[in-house]
Amino acid sequence: MAEKLWGGRFSKEIDRSVLKYTLTTDIDSRLIRYDIWGSMAHLAMLNNGEIVSKEAAGKIFSALLKLYESNERGTLTLDPELEDVHLNIESLVIREIGSEYGGRLHTARSRNDQVVTDTRMYLRAELLDIQKNLYSFVNTLLKLSDECTHKIAIGYTHLQPAQPISLAFWYSCYASMFLRDLARLESAFNVTNLNVLGACALAGTSFPIDREITSKLLGFDRELMHSLDATSSRDFVLQTASTFAILMSNFSRLAEEIVIWNSHEFGLLAIDDTFATGSSIMPQKKNPVVAELVKGRVGRIYGVLMQLLTMVKGVTLGYNCDLQEDKPMLWDAIDIIKNTTSILHQHIENSDYKSDRAEELCWKNFSTVTELANYLVREKNLPFREAHHLTGLLTQKLSTEAMDMRNTAFVREFLAQQSIALSEKEIHDCVSPIKVMERQCSAGSTGPDRVKEMVKKLQQELESFQSRLEHKSQVLQDAENATLKIAKDMQLKTITGG
């Protein structure tokens, strides 16, 4: 008979090359804490239902607590000979207290429901960490917005100068975008935080288990009731990967603007020396490598999503080993997302937008001429299409003469030829970049008062999110503490004979 815990049906040991090809201990190291916590909750449920005796439960709890503490110290490692985290933990329990007691731990469960439970527990913790990091980033963007409502930036369409905006409008735009990313991350958490433990291999069990107990002790919102669905599905992983892909695409847009605006030709953004590198041959170079790498790593996240979608598309119901390939890809995506959120946050805090340069460019690039057209509609009762045509023609003539909107005498003369009387002061006030920006008054516009209104609403939304985030984190911490308390109480009773 083979020596594996599952070896009763086998007459030979697994081939070494097969073991090497199928083992997951290197990947499973992130799941150790959750496998032990899950085992404690499972055992508490078995003991509560008198499926496992108090004596056996006490001894198993004692072994699991020893493993838990070893893992907390960083001294618990997984043996590749035992294939995965589940067989490692069970084998270590049996080695500690013998098969008569330790061999009862796996009653009414399967590695099929264990692995999904562990993955969900690990993933939800990481999703909370990512949300906390992104929350901090959004909070910084809103604080920067509060400080910059009267500072000029340039708004672009087609990467061509469009209209002057406030720097606060730009910061708050990304805050608004990332708040939707936070909502998607929260949704991914909610889909992930469902209990599948007790589904067993795929069909449930004939033991009278109580899945509500494990849900409570593991901090899950509720049970994913259908056992076949619970063990077969990885849609929570797909939803998370999709959420990561959208978040990284938004990060990439910000990174692209950092790279472009930092270029000599634009000169709109100064990157701190600590977030740039030089050239091995060109002494003058200061390269925006952090932002470039953010853009590059988007492809890796997109790749994870496509790999996962490909992995599940041909898998029949019930557990298949195809599904164990979700973790290496998911772990990589988690690491990239956490690192990128943190580094991009620091990058923005340590970059300086050149509003003086932006204002100068707004004069030169005719981005305020739309406001002149609006003025002619509002004050001179011209149809917008006529005003649009006249100001377009004016732009052409100024460009041809290598002049800009500061040449108010030329503009006054041009308008006079169209029977429109405006003084040079009226013209200057009409097209001054800062006044154009401040004049915008529609809901959601770049005007300082409107931006302040938006920032206030976004801050309220962020605070509401923070409250929910703190509650979720506390629920998980309380659940783990409750599980550990049960384990320690049972251990003490075993020691004292109570």
Distances, alpha carbon 203 to alpha carbons 7, 35, 187, 228, 229, in Å: 22, 21, 28, 6, 10
The answer to whether 138 and 343 are in contact (CB under 8 A) is no
Q: Name the catalytic one among 279, 399, 464, 467.
A: 279
Phi-psi category of residue 224: left, alpha or beta, with phi > 0 → left and psi -120 to 50 → alpha: beta
The answer to whether 344 and 136 are in contact (CB under 8 A) is no
Active site residue 39: no
Place of tokens 């949300």: 131
Q: Which of 34, 42, 2, 38 is nearest to 19 (CA)?
A: 2
Partner residues linked to 165 by β-bridges: 153
The vertex-296 CA angle with 291 and 301, nearest 5°, equals: 115
Length of the chain: 498
Six-digit token string for 360:
């100068």
User: 26: number of CA atoms within 13 Å, CB side?
Assistant: 7
Helical packing angle, 32-48 and 111-147, nearest 10°: 120
Q: Name the catalytic one among 17, 158, 206, 419.
A: 158
Q: Which of 238, 234, 244 is nearest to 182 (CA)?
A: 244
Active site residue 279: yes
The answer to whether 368 and 362 are in contact (CB under 8 A) is yes
Where are any strands of DSSP class E within 172-221?
Answer: 194-195
How far does Cα 106 stand from its chain's mean position? 35
Q: Where are the alpha helices (DSSP H) in 193-323?
A: 211-217, 227-232, 235-262, 289-312
The answer to whether 33 and 468 are in contact (CB under 8 A) is no
Six-digit token string for 255:
């990174």
Q: In 3-state terms, what secondary structure has residue 164?
A: strand
Q: Which of 109, 74, 78 is nearest to 92 (CA)?
A: 78
Distances, alpha carbon 70 to alpha carbons 36, 40, 63, 73, in Å: 11, 15, 11, 5
Contacts of 185 (CB under 8 A, 6+ apart): 127, 130, 131, 134, 243, 247
Six-digit token string for 128:
């909370």
How far does Cα 190 stand from its chain's mean position? 14
Provide the terminal-to-terminal Cα distance of the chain, rounded to the nearest Å: 40
Place of tokens 């090359």: 17
Catalytic residues: 158, 279
